[in-house]
């Protein structure tokens, strides 16, 4: 596949610095932690400073960004562009799109290898597959066929596996990154309350053993208001964590898209599991490893994705229905800030720029 030349007509991107932003690009300052927030119905990406809980930068010119990943050394950001079906490359020293790599179809979420050489791209339309982009060559070097179109891909903390989740096929497939081939799959075919199929695979999160290998996968499923717990060794669902029910007067069914839970995070210290609840407008937490329920925090409208600061103190919640990001203090179990961003914010990522 030929790498497109740059610049590409009609694809120009600029960086807009908000008032009072420092002259040096805020996100590119060495050693700074930043929250990268995509906007699924907009054409920009917001950069948030967790030290102040404020937007410090906006990257323009990335329409309908879906997934976001970052180079391990913080030197670049990567976005999947649903409109142009490309992988966007944004070096953090310039904070603007410098390259676009064509993909096999319309992309959804993305994941990067631990060595920073490959990006795995979920393809939701155009083929039932996962694209593998070689970043040194600037092209798709392999396409892994799957049982259905892929909504999400997640890299395991040890970098040994990619978990690919399919909605229509109701299947979770594990890819071995040493050979870039599928090694096993788990099909979700149960029924939720009311008789609806609950098999579409949505966000996932990893829990690890002390040596860093995968212990359990936490999986959100279409039409199930909770989290399913998958034992990685036995490849089976071993537990289900139901989220609380609120009085009907406090529940919303707006924009649920068949997925009442659509955001998971395991805290960097490995002590907590967090989940969003779209109908409840809450995020909920369980302790790890015992999975005891810790409580919930009310956030914005239609919470849709999660990321955490490296010290596990703050949880950033993308509220797709209210176009803002809630900041939750995980020790005090309360919302401490609400940050306006773009249109329908969803996927987000915590990045340390070195």
213 Cα distance to chain centroid: 20
Q: What is the pLDDT averaged over residues 2-25? A: 35
Residue 15 has pLDDT above 60, yes or no: no
Task: Give just the sign of the alpha carbon dihedral 55, 56, 60, 66.
Answer: negative
Residue 255 has pLDDT above 60, yes or no: no
This prediction has a pTM of 0.89
Q: How far apart are CA 280 and CA 252, in angstroms?
A: 7
The tens digit of pLDDT for each residue in 33-84 reads 999 999 999 999 999 999 999 999 999 999 999 999 999 999 999 999 999 9
The pLDDT value recorded for residue 191 is 56
Q: What is the pLDDT averaged over residues 149-153? A: 97
Q: What is the pLDDT averaged over residues 99-119? A: 98
Give the gyration radius of the chain's Cα atoms.
Answer: 19
Q: How far apart are CA 224 and CA 279, in angstroms?
A: 12
Task: Give just the sign of the alpha carbon dihedral 53, 92, 111, 150.
Answer: positive
The tens digit of pLDDT for each residue in 190-247 reads 654 444 456 799 999 999 999 999 999 999 999 899 999 999 999 999 999 999 987 7
Q: What is the pLDDT averaged over residues 302-319? A: 97
32 Cα distance to chain centroid: 20
The pLDDT value recorded for residue 4 is 36
Residue in 165, 285, 293, 291 with CA at minimum distance from that of residue 216: 291
The pLDDT value recorded for residue 49 is 97
Burial 144-180 (b: 16+ CB within 10 A, else e): bebbbbbbbbbbbbebbbbbbbbbbbbbbbbbebeeb
């Amino acid at each position: 596949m030929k790498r497109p030349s740059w610049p590409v007509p009609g694809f120009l991107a600029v960086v807009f610095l908000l008032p009072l932003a420092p002259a040096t690009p805020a996100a590119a300052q060495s050693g700074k932690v930043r929250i990268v927030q995509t906007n699924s119905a907009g054409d920009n990406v917001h950069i948030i400073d967790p030290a102040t809980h404020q937007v410090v930068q906006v990257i323009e010119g990335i329409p309908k960004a879906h997934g976001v990943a970052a180079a391990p050394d913080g030197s670049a950001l990567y976005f999947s562009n649903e409109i142009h079906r490309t992988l966007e490359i944004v070096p953090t020293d310039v904070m603007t799109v410098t390259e676009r790599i064509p993909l096999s179809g319309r992309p959804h979420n993305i994941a990067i290898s631990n060595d920073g050489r490959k990006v795995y791209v979920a393809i939701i339309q155009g083929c039932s597959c996962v694209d593998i982009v070689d970043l040194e060559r600037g092209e798709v070097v392999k396409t892994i066929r799957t049982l259905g179109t892929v909504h999400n891909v997640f890299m395991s903390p040890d970098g040994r596996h990619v978990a690919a989740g399919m909605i229509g096929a109701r299947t979770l497939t594990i890819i071995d990154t040493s050979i870039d081939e599928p090694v096993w799959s788990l099909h979700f075919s149960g029924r939720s309350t009311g008789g609806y199929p609950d098999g579409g695979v949505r966000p996932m999160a990893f829990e690890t053993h002390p040596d860093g290998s995968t212990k359990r996968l936490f999986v959100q499923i279409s039409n199930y208001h909770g989290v399913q717990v998958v034992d990685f060794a036995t490849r089976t669902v071993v537990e289900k964590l139901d989220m609380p029910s609120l009085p009907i007067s406090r529940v919303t069914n707006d924009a649920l898209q068949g997925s009442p839970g659509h955001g998971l995070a395991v805290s960097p210290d490995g002590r907590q599991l967090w989940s969003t609840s779209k109908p409840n407008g809450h995020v909920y937490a369980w302790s790890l490893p015992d999975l005891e329920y810790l409580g919930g925090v009310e956030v914005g409208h239609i919470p849709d994705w999660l990321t955490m600061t490296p010290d596990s103190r703050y949880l950033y919640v993308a509220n797709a229905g209210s176009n803002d990001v809630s900041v939750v203090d995980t020790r005090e179990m309360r919302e401490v800030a609400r940050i306006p961003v773009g249109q329908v914010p969803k996927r987000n990522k915590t990045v340390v720029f070195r």
